[in-house]
Amino acid sequence: MLQSRHLPALIVVLLLIHAGCTKEAPPPVSTVVPSDHVAPSPVGTTQTVLEKTFKLSTSSVFPFEIPAHAVQPHLHGIFQSFVGQVHGASDDTANIDFLIMNEEQESNFAGNRPSEALFTVESSHNQAVNFDLPASMNQPVKYYLVFRNPQKSGRVVEANFRIDF
């Protein structure tokens, strides 16, 4: 038989045992499955980059983005420039420059700092373009179509560009 002086100690022990048995289990450690981070592949799709007729006095820049996981993005299209108005004179007097730039190159271009381009067409008024861009890996990548008018007189450009993945 228990003596009354041991009863408080026994109650404390029983409460501790009960508290130890009713502890909540820690949340399960989440395991990261590599397939959880795989984005849909853009392979087999086409995206319109530029489909526009616009006035060109000095330069015009059109940004576009390659989605992540694009292994072989291929830019293709055509531009034609005219003097004064659409379907006006389209000969050597309508020549412009066309460039494809990445973000760093475009930043230098916008800041009037010397810059290279990934692709350049100089002094043309009618040009088809086919260019393979680098793979985008795990992050989207921004590029720019740049039309430049060295003459700084009224040109109108008709441009249609798409990208295949």
For 123-149, write each residue's pLDDT tens digit: 999 999 999 999 998 999 999 999 999
For 41-93, write each residue's pLDDT tens digit: 566 789 999 999 999 999 999 999 999 999 899 999 999 999 988 888 789 99
* CA-to-CA dists, residue 5 to 1, 8, 13, 15, 18, angstroms: 12, 7, 14, 17, 21
Residue 93's Cα: distance from chain center in Å?
35
List of domains in the chain: 47-164 (2.60.120.260)
Which residues is 122 bridged to in the sheet? none
User: Is the entire prediction scored with pTM above 0.85?
Assistant: no
Q: What is the rounded distance in angstroms from the CA atom of residue 126 to the CA atom of residue 52?
A: 15
